[in-house]
Amino acid sequence: MIEIVDIRYCRLGTTDLDSAVTFATELIGLEEVDRSDSQVYLRGDHRDHNICYFEGDPNNQSFGLEVRSFADLDAAASTLQAAGVDVRRGTEAEAAARRVMGFINFSDPTGNAVDLVVRPFHSGRRYFPSRDAGITDFSHIGLKTTDPARDEKFWSGLFNIRANDRIGAAALMSFDEVHHRIALFPTDHAGIQHINFQVESVDDIMRSHYFLTERQIQIRFGPGRHPTSGAMFLYYEGPDGMTYEYSSGVRNVDETWRPRQLPFKDESFCMWGSRPNIPEFSNS
Amino acid sequence: MIDVVGFRYCRLGTANLEETVKFATEMIGLEVVGRENGFVYMRGDDRDHNICYFDGDPMDHTLGLELAGFDELAGAESALSAAGLDVYRGTEEEAAARRCMGYINFKDPSGNSIDLTVRPFAAGRRYFPGRDAGIDEFSHIGLCVTDPREAEKFWSEVFNFRTSDWIGWSALMTFDEVHHRFALFPSDRPGIQHINFQVTETDDVMRSNYFLRDHQVRIQAGPGRHSLSGARFLYFYGPDEMIYEYSCGVRMVDDSWRARQFPVNDASFCAWGSKPDLSVLEGPDAGE
């Protein structure tokens, strides 16, 4: 069993690095923490970075999960190989680019690229954005799956990741007390389906709703409230078609939590009555 | 000084009684509690009624406030007469139609018709609506006044109303701990500008936002959050162009509260960034 202790970052290829960074800083409310010629590091919390945009194919996406130690990293590599998964050890230069002390990379059965990292960088300075979006932390991702049952089994069989609720076949999964850290949404290709930042309160959700709407940003879903996690949310379109989410008030769960099955329909995604304009969230 | 102790009802003329009652029941989420002699009584809380609709001029509005007892009613009658206002003493039949044990009526300096009631009815049965709007209670109104400074002076000198905050010249006033029971809106005629019902939580405000839009109800403002009272709000139009409001989380104030002056701008009206119709605060002469 591979023990994940945190979700750290997304690495996203973009065809227009400057536009992506402008959007992330001026609209999402992230802070640029560093940049080189071809990549820019941004964050919405006190950690080193949460998103790295790099010049490249927008389909080139990966995300980073943290394991506790080099010993755990070696054990994870063995576990994955024993399960027939190809594992690649990152070079020192690649680790430096990810701002971690070491990592391995593998793909899940759908083909999503995952970094397992050890000792990712913390930051001395606190998060200080240029727009008051109220972001408190990078919290979860939606992950695309071509076979939700198979992928749920992959994550829960090899990792300390369990489903806390399901909407249709989509499993909302976590490795810690937060209701979900990875949510698997069925589709026909690999990729990150959405990127979530927690904000402080419903005030932040609603302020951003009006702020983004005024700037002609396409709102994809919300403002609304998820009956699964209880979080109030707003989904909107960011650079390269990626969906970003603000949410507030996600439920914490413990060992006594029993996963619930919700039917795959609009009201399982929103208890206020908003309707999704996100392909993975709707049947139509 | 006339001590108001309760905020009770609106009596509203309507051009189409059945359509209005249907809207109040199915859209606002009020309960019909009685129909008598052309009056329909409705409520959003456990008291006898909060709104009485009748066939009549949609400009015909009356607000019902409560006094502690008959002695206070007689005192109010003297105080209002001394202030130079005509006071009408309601008959027993008229009191019965208002579902109270006695009342007087007068018009404030703007011409707003006010009932001062004694022992308005409580109800044995609890509020049970046909739609889950989450309404807790009838809480305040927007009141049209021809001169907001004069109106504020009248209500604070003749009555126990005090100002909690100002937006422009418009005072938000109360007689108890709720941030406001009246919001004064400058206008060229008297009348009730909006009617507020408190709902339990933000979920109710947002659910109604989607529910009302789905039912093609015209949203006047919001969803938003009032910078003055802190309440989350949604305003929408009902029949006869009357504006109704749901809100939750209104601020409570006590003796230590010091009234604040806010400028007339979008941010004073909504902390979230929704675009209000500020013309309602600018009065009839705005733009001339």
CA distance A284 to B13: 46
Rounded to whole angstroms, the Cα distance separating A208 from A30 reads 13
**Across the 288 residues of chain B, what is the mean pLDDT of every consecutive 10-residue run?**
97 98 98 96 96 98 98 98 96 97 98 98 94 97 97 97 96 97 95 98 98 97 96 97 97 95 94 86 57
Tell me the backbone φ, ψ of residue B88, rounded to 5 degrees: -110, 130
**Of the candidates B207, B224, B273, which has its C-beta nearest A272's C-beta?**
B207
What distance, in Å, lies between the first and last C-alpha atoms of chain B? 38
Question: Was domain A135-277 assigned CATH 3.10.180.10?
Answer: yes
Cα–Cα distance between A284 and A25 in angstroms, integer?
A: 33
Domains and CATH numbers, chain B: 6-118 (3.10.180.10), 135-278 (3.10.180.10)
Measured between beta carbons, which residues in chain A are less than 8 angstroms from residue B273?
206-207, 209-211, 214
Which of the 8 DSSP states describes residue B281?
H
In the sheet that holds B61-67, the strands lie side by side as B31-36, B39-43, B51-55, B6-14, B61-67, B113-118, B102-107, B87-89
Answer positive or negative: Cα dihedral of B61, B67, B73, B78. negative
Query: Is A206 touching B (CB cutoff 8 A)?
Result: yes
Express each pLDDT in B256-271 by its tens digit: 999 999 999 999 999 9
Task: Measure the CA–CA gap between B288 and B277, rounded to whole angstroms.
Answer: 17
| Strand partners of residue B41 | B34, B52
Chain B nearest CA to A272, separation (Å): 4
Can you give the pTM of this predicted structure?
Answer: 0.90
Identity of the residue in A202, A210, A274 whose CB atom sits nearest the CB atom of B274: A210
Tens-digit pLDDT profile for residues A160-215: 999 999 999 999 999 999 999 999 999 999 999 999 999 999 999 999 999 999 99
CB burial of B140-168 (b: ≥16 within 10 Å; e: otherwise) equals: bbbbbbbbbeebbebbeebbebbbbbbbb
d(CA A109, CA A144): 11
Strand arrangement, sheet containing B182-186: B219-225, B232-237, B243-248, B191-199, B135-145, B182-186, B170-174, B162-167, B260-262
Helix (H) or strand (E) holding B23: helix B17-23
A232: chain B residues, CB-CB within 8 Å:
202
DSSP symbol at B238? -
Separation CA B6–CA A283 (nearest Å) = 52
What pLDDT is stored for residue B288 in this prediction? 37
Closest partner residue to B206 among A207, A210, A223, by Cβ?
A223
- β-pairing verdict for A88-89 and A102-107: antiparallel
Chain B residues near any Cβ of chain A (below 8 Å): 202-203, 206-207, 209-211, 214, 223-225, 232, 271-274
Cα three-residue angle B247-B252-B257, rounded to 5 degrees: 135
With beta carbons less than 8 A apart as the criterion, state whether A2 and A79 touch.
yes
Torsion angle, alpha carbons of A178, A179, A181, A182, to 10: 170
What is the nearest CA distance from A127 to chain B, expressed in angstroms? 23
Parallel, antiparallel or unpaired: strands B232-237 and B219-225 = antiparallel
Q: How far is CA B12 from the centre of its chain?
A: 11
Count how many residues are written for chain B.
288
User: Per the CB < 8 Å rule, is B207 touching A206?
Assistant: no
**Fold identical between A6-118 and A135-277?**
yes
Rounded distance, CA B154 to CA A162, Å? Answer: 65
> Which residue in chain B is spatially nearest to A275 when comparing CA positions?
B210
Are the C-beta atoms of residues A248 and A200 closer than 8 Å to each other? yes
Any idea which residue has 């009613």 for tokens?
Answer: B73
B203–A272 CB contact, under 8 Å: yes
Which residues share a beta bridge with A237? A243
Residue type, B42: M
Residues from chain A that touch B210, judged by Cβ atoms under 8 A, are 272-274
Q: Within chain A, which residues score under 50 in pLDDT?
A: none
Q: Where are the domains of chain A?
A: 6-118, 135-277
A210: chain B residues, CB-CB within 8 Å = 272-274
Could you tell me if A101 and A115 are in contact, meaning their C-beta atoms sit under 8 angstroms apart? no
Selected for mutation to probe chain A from B209, B272, B274 (highest A CB count within 10 Å) is B272
Domain A6-118 sits in CATH 3.30.1490.20? no
Contact B66, B76 (CB under 8 A): no
Q: Do A273 and B225 touch (CB under 8 A)?
A: no
User: DSSP class of residue A146?
Assistant: S
